[in-house]
Structure 1
């Protein structure tokens, strides 16, 4: 029976040691692909296994985007679309919970299966990927092993960490996010640093104003206003510096970011609209930082050495994140001070209550977290990264003094 064959070969691959894995996949793929007449039955059995494997991931805390990200990190880009197929198979019987889950499924184009019938899935997958039956079966077995071996992680929608009561943004919030996205898209595309600075500053101003308004509206509200969480991918290379940048953006927007280095993501804890702001701003700043780093690296070092070394780029991004933290913090403090004065001192207690709620939620999820310090080792990279962050100034009126940070590398 094909279902038994699929199960047997899957478990053989799953239990194989790293040394024996290639042989186990070759044997399993050969047996699954041996008969063209049985291929439709194998296809149906694979999809049943997809659903069960995806459900196991969900119970272990993994959301759709996390699964695809983990598979891509483990096996490479070519396995990503097949991981999305697993999400689509699961979506037929499990609708997910919350706005973020649904958004992830939509972004993966996995709301409905793309294949015509379950009998035809493997045939159509092979055609899509340019694989014969053996190659298709091998790739599916590789995928299933990778996903089944994912460890348990903290679920984002546990009973003690529930979805915000408002599961979809209000119409005004959708418009606000649309304006922010448009501003950041322009900032990423412009070749003029001053224009990018102005556009990014305006986007941050809109996000800060929305956070302040939401805090004031929440004064006296009940416990329905509860923090949530999301995971944001932190990819190689220079993932430590990128996690530092995400932490700076999260901190300035009332959230906390916990980096899971071995899993390739940070979990950001905060109120729902703040999480949207963090994801948008981090993504944009990372694009801007990468572009600035590449521009700096295209010039020659004073000694004639091209600025393309790992230490240069690592130092560039660490300095960039460090300076962005300074400027975001200064801009936030100024905006809060102005708004607090205009609200008859009601804002600071409201923001303090939100900060406590975020801190408590973070401690429940990550009771044993640790901290790390990253240092840049290339003085030239540090200088250029700091200058790039100055050009990406996010404050409308903040003018921080230029000066060295304690962690700045020396030229000696």
Structure 2
């Protein structure tokens, strides 16, 4: 039975007036927005009632309405099938299924239909809609929509399990015995301009171990590097097109410094960052405008160190000379993870969205095309099974292998050990 009332103690009209006054004050004074208010501000910007997501008239792209039923079942308004977002769609299903399980256990499910458009591309939402839009990242902060945890966190319980294992391995590797080197590995793609700038810096006298491991969107690495070089107006160098040995993520904690770069495909966010905080290393982040939902909580010099091609060498020299600063940054990164990226924090983020939409979204059930929609829930027999529901049934290391966190084939031990322990 569809519930007709949202959660108690949520007054959209009064809260909206309060937020509008607060935001105006902050804009006039030039102050930063209050942390954590973006969900309420986003929900309150809609007219009442907030329309349900509607796929009619939308282009065939990597996006689909997600409908949360009163009992917690999930319906996707479109089976992406062969499009680029199909695997992410099912990872998001598994992620939301884990979130819903936590909310059900704590009796915090909305108990009514809630829906939003989920955009699965890394570059994020491009068009404002008259219904809620959720993205997993944005290339430009001014893009419309609300940011939610990306599906590569998988289910909250899995994320906690994987993170604890990573942290346990890292604790066995004493920081002072690690390589005094900055590590980066990544793909070359159409958005890899900043990555090419990094590669062109070279090893900086052995302080940097950076390299390409694959190609994204080009036929080969040489073509990718040539195109990026041309766009940057930089002269090509032969060594810019060399593939490097992969370093399994479990070996990241053999390094003192880990570098995060913008994504390879569009230069937007890269999910790589969420994995770096558990290795007990100093995290450096290449300056860029792209963002995920938790980026506003990061503080340069407290949780990480911001760099680009103009100051990477200088800041690495400073870090290598200052053990106390390294200790503070490692501790800051660990504290950040505990405060913002644990599994229960992911659940909190979704709960705020569900609560806001449940209070303001239309009581009328959403219009869902049974011929196009799909579900991985057995109780939703009215809809076809989604094309890749088997993804949602993966567990443990099988998930890690699917995400590329664990090599599908064990790497050649001598090659990896040489890169990890040499010089």
| TM-score using structure 2 length | 0.24
Rg larger for: 1
| TM-score using structure 1 length | 0.24
Which is strand-richer, 1 or 2? 2
Q: 1 or 2 for the larger relative contact order (CA 8 Å, sep ≥6)? A: 2
